[in-house]
Amino acid sequence: ESNGVIAMLDLLVADLDKEMQQGEVEERESQKMYEAFMQDSKDKRTAYAKEISSKEGFKAELETELQNDGVELKATLKEGMEKGEQIRDLHLECDWIVSNHAARKEARAGEVESLKNAKAVLSGADYSLVQILPVRRLRGASA
């Protein structure tokens, strides 16, 4: 009987050793998985940090471009307003020239005629007997 108890205790010790070995193997595998997981997490954090840095740089470039475009837009709008004012001024000037064209043409013709008369007088012509005003006809007389 004592052999049976000792054999049973030996069997229990063997089972316990076997379970401890399995536990140690599982613990090593779990440790390896944990270390792989931590390395993978570290790699992902590094990649994410690089991606964030890259995106922040791109964002800064876009903000600078947006600011430059805003300045350019303001300059273009100002230039457009100046061109609009120039066109309006030219239009007003042209309207004045067109509306006063007939009067200016008549005044110019009068000046040309006066210059011709002055030239003729200086050349020796005598205009003292030339009738400038229209002639009145007697009643019933025809021309």
Amino acid at 60: A
Work out the number of other CB atoms within 10 angstroms of the CB of residue 69.
10
Q: How far is CA 39 from CA 8, 99, 108, in A?
A: 46, 88, 98
pLDDT tens, 77-101? 999 999 999 999 999 999 988 998 8
**Per-residue model confidence as pLDDT tens digits over 100-130:** 888 899 999 999 999 988 888 888 766 655 5
Confidence of residue 25 (pLDDT cuts 50, 70, 90): very high
Distance set, CA 115 to CA 82, 91, 104, 110, 126 (Å) = 43, 33, 16, 9, 15
